[in-house]
Amino acid sequence: MLGLMQSQPLLISSLIEFAERHHGDAEIVSRRVEGDIHRYTYRDLAARARRLANALDDLKLQFSDRVATLAWNGYRHMEMYFGVSGSGRVLHTVNPRLHPDQIAWIINHAEDQVMCFDATFLPLVQAVHARCPTVKKWVALCDADKLPADTGIPGLTSYEAWIGAQSSDYAWPEFDENSASSMCYTSGTTGNPKAALYSHRSTTLHAYAAALPDVMCLSARDSVLPVVPMFHVNAWGIPYSAALTGCKLVFPGPAMDGKSIYELIEAEKVSYAAGVPTVWQMMLGHMKPAGLKFSTLRRTVIGGSACPPAMIHAFKEDYGVEVLHAWGMTEMSPLGTLCTLKNKHLVMSKDEQMKILQKQGRAIYGVDMKIVGGDGNELPWDGKTYGDLLVKGPWIVGSYFKGEGGDPLVRDAQGRGWFPTGDVATIDADGFMQITDRSKDVIKSGGEWISSIDIENIAMAHPAIAMAACVGMPHPKWDERPIVAVVKRPGTEVTREELLAFYEGKTAKWQIPDDVVFVDAIPIGATGKMLKTKLREQLKDYKLPGL
Ligand code: AMP
């Protein structure tokens, strides 16, 4: 017997319809590429998303055709999130930090038909447009009178002229909730990138889950600043959860430096922010010497790479801001776990609580996770045993766009497919997961694994260290030994010996790195993560002391 409830597809258009009706006057504030601050409301956004949908109809774009963006976080990008997907097309957010050759490859692979880009990325578009035959319309996300001249890009139109010519009357179509809504290519450190193809159903369910109190805890009372880019995994789904909750949204545009972000937080009374650790590193680096404090910021989600405990501590103790450590990936829409305490933890000491809060956290309802050994058998949740982390759920990839890479899933005894994350982790008895490494970064010394994240976190707790990356170096006896590459904070000093002494008592003796290498910068990839492959290349002539 089937249930007798109404069967209404979960569609992205329903999110913006809801926001318009119930939170029509809630504000969306954006710093624009032009440098000024733009303000409007969800009501304005919804009307302009409908104009965009009409513009796409006029171009005779078919259902599921791809519309691409090369854009910062801002209101026009947000309109595309809803206008493109809501009208049944697929939004392809391209990461502008990738190499132009990779961008051209991705545009061709996705068969994008329209490309909308911020003026910042004009040189990039000029470099690739001739190599992108599928794109039939190039749109600059700017005012009609700001359209750059003599660009060499055929038929270049300004976004404002394009959608301005359209009516804001448009009835969002109804279709299968499993239809594709947006796509994002993985960073592809080895080989060509592969695309996760999200659906209306997966995105809407993820938006619901993300807003939950033990997840991102978003509400109509928040003023939310997503620093995490809209060009990578849909800014962790915040644009969708924002429409669902009606929170005020604040977009940083291209100004991602610590000073600009801090000023925006203060000016727009931001209560909630989200970003990768490097962004917050820059912001705290700006605030500390100037003795600045937050007036309204209360919570920040930090993820994308391991958040150093020293950062969680600094936010909490120095600035009264609660850090929510999050873990996820492109293939997971992206949220998998968030770290919040349980009721029984409230009576613990601050130090004990901090030990929990530095983990990557508990699974969200909708994400099943397990760790397995080399034989594929599940390992215990004891907080000590580590293994390959596998996940399954309705917002996790089943396969990649165009079947690239074959079937990525691993089947269990019941035939259910699990996605191997490529991360190595422990899970404790309370279900708190902690990443020890990417599987390809694991350091094996004398048959035992050393967590590079643990080694990095200790270095980052030293006041003179701004950034640390731990890699394994070949060793004739131990197979590999860890070394730590560090960047010093400006105006500080620390010697190799002092830093190695700093490890004493903080980790087992055999896990202490064999050496410290001082570098000017750690290579960072297109999604803000450390590029250890590149670091290893840079250190290819390095020899461990005594060898
Ligand atoms: P991406 O698909 O580019 O977003 O990268 C996903 C990967 O980033 C994950 O598989 C992890 O290796 C890493 N990652 C994301 N969040 C965290 C975190 N909180 N701690 C450690 N690693 C993380």
Tens digit of pLDDT for each residue in 522-540?
Answer: 998 887 888 898 999 999 9
Predicted TM-score of the model (pTM): 0.93
Average pLDDT estimate for 305-314: 94
| pLDDT level of residue 122 (50, 70, 90 thresholds) | very high
178 CA to middle of ligand 1, Å? 26
- List the catalytic residue out of 69, 93, 157, 186: 186
Tens digit of pLDDT for each residue in 419-465?
Answer: 999 999 999 999 999 999 888 888 988 888 899 999 999 999 999 99
Closest atom of ligand 1 relative to the 303 alpha carbon: 19
Ranges of CATH 3.40.50.12780 domains, the chain: 31-175
* Residue 191 falls in which region: left (phi positive, over 0), alpha (psi -120 to 50) or beta: left
Q: By percentage, how much of the chain surpasses pLDDT 70?
A: 99
pLDDT of residue 440: 85
Which CATH code of 3.30.300.30, 3.50.50.60, 3.40.50.80, 3.40.50.920 fits the domain covering 443-538?
3.30.300.30
Ranges of CATH 3.30.300.30 domains, the chain: 443-538
**Residue to mutate, 187, 232, 276, 327, ligand 1, most ligand atoms under 8 Å from C-beta:** 327
* Alpha-carbon distances of 77 from 45, 67, 88, 392, rounded to whole Å: 10, 12, 17, 30
Mean pLDDT of the chain: 95
Closest atom of ligand 1 relative to the 529 alpha carbon: 8
Whether residue 330 has its Cβ less than 6 Å from ligand 1? yes
Whether omega before 226 lies within 30 degrees of 0, making that bond cis, reads no
Query: The domain 31-175 belongs to what CATH superfamily?
Result: ANL, N-terminal domain (3.40.50.12780)
pLDDT of residue 137: 98
Element (H, E) at 479: strand 479-488
* Residue 403 falls in which region: left (phi positive, over 0), alpha (psi -120 to 50) or beta: left
Average pLDDT estimate for 284-298: 95
Strands 66-70 and 112-117: parallel
| pLDDT level of residue 508 (50, 70, 90 thresholds) | confident
Closest atom of ligand 1 relative to the 332 alpha carbon: 2
Cα–Cα distance measured from residue 32 to residue 270, given in angstroms and rounded to the nearest whole number? 18
The question of whether 172 is a catalytic residue gets the answer no
Whether residue 457 has its Cβ less than 6 Å from ligand 1? no
- List the catalytic residue out of 316, 449, 488, 533: 449
| pLDDT level of residue 188 (50, 70, 90 thresholds) | low
Tens digit of pLDDT for each residue in 269-284?
Answer: 999 999 999 899 999 9
Tens digit of pLDDT for each residue in 145-159?
Answer: 999 999 999 999 999
Q: By percentage, how much of the chain surpasses pLDDT 90?
A: 90
CB proximity list for 544: less than 8 A, separation 6 or greater: 473, 475, 481, 483, 514, 515
pLDDT of residue 202: 98
